[in-house]
Amino acid sequence: MVVSDSPNGGSTPPPPQQEQANKDRFTKPISIAGPTEADLNRNTELEKFLVDSGLYECNEEAASREEVLRRLDQIVKSWVKQLTRQRGYTDQMVEDANAVIFTFGSYRLGVHGPGVDIDTLCIGPSYVNREQDFFIILHNILAEMEEVTELQPVPDAHVPVMKFKFQGISIDLLYASISILVVPEDLDISDGSVLYDVDEQTVRSLNGCRVADQILKLVPNVEHFRTTLRCLKFWAKRRGVYSNVTGFLGGVNWAILVARVCQLYPNAIPSMLVSRFFRVYSQWRWPNPVMLCPIEENELHLPIWDPRRNHRDRYHLMPIITPAYPCMNSSYNVSTSTLRVMMEQFCYGNKICDEIELNKSQWSALFQPYVFFEAYKNYLQVDIIALDADDLLLWRGWVESRLRQLTLKIERDTSGMLQCHPYPHEYADTSKPCAHSAFFMGLQRKEGVRGQEGQQFDIRGTVDEFRREIIMYVYWKPGMEIYVSHVRRKQLPAFVFPDGYKRTRMPRHINHAAEKMGDDTTKCNSGSSSSERSVKRKKNPEMMDVKPDKPEKRISVSPQRLECVSPESCTSKLGGTPQMSIECIEGVRLDGSTTNDTDNNCEIKSSDGLSGSGTIIDVGDMQINETSFVDSTHDRLKSRALEVQNEVRSLLNQRENLPFGSCLVHVKFLN
Known binding residues are 104-106, 117-119, 172, 233, 242, 251-252
Write out the binding residues for ATP: 104-106, 117-119, 172, 233, 242, 251-252
* Catalytic residue (one of 81, 133, 213, 233): 233
Could you list the residues known to form a binding site for Mg(2+), using ranges: 117, 119, 172
Query: Would residue 520 show up in a list of annotated catalytic residues for this protein?
Result: no
Sort strands 148-154 and 418-427 into parallel, antiparallel or unpaired. Answer: unpaired
- SS3 sequence of 345-410: HHHHHHHHHHHHHCCCCCHHHHCCCCCHHHHCCEEEEEEEEECCHHHHHHHHHHHHHHHHHHHHHH
Phi, psi of 228 (to 5 degrees): -65, -45
Query: How many other C-beta atoms can be found within 10 angstroms of the C-beta atom of residue 115?
Result: 11
- The CB-side HSE value for 475 (13 A sphere, CA atoms) comes to 16
**Whether the Cβ atoms of residue 573 and residue 433 lie closer than 8 Å to each other:** no
Q: Is 233 a catalytic residue?
A: yes
- Cα Rg for the chain, rounded, in angstroms? 28
Active-site residue (options: 39, 77, 205, 242): 242
End-to-end CA distance of the chain: 77
Catalytic residue at 119? yes
User: Dihedrals φ, ψ of 437, to 5°?
Assistant: -150, 150
d(CA 624, CA 614): 10
Q: Which residue type sits at 622?
A: M
**Residue 94: CB partners within 8 Å, gap ≥ 6?**
81, 84, 85
Of 171, 192, 68, give the one whose Cα is nearest residue 117.
171
Classify residue 537 by burial, with Cβ atoms within 10 Å: 0-12, 13-18, 19+. Answer: middle
Fill in the amino acid letter for 320: I
C-alpha span between 648 and 546 (Å, rounded): 27
Active-site residue, from 77, 81, 119, 379: 119
Catalytic pick from 106, 271, 335, 485?
A: 106
Catalytic residue selected from 73, 96, 117, 306: 117
| Alpha carbons 610 and 613: distance in angstroms, whole number | 9
User: Which residues are identified as catalytic?
Assistant: 106, 117, 119, 172, 233, 242
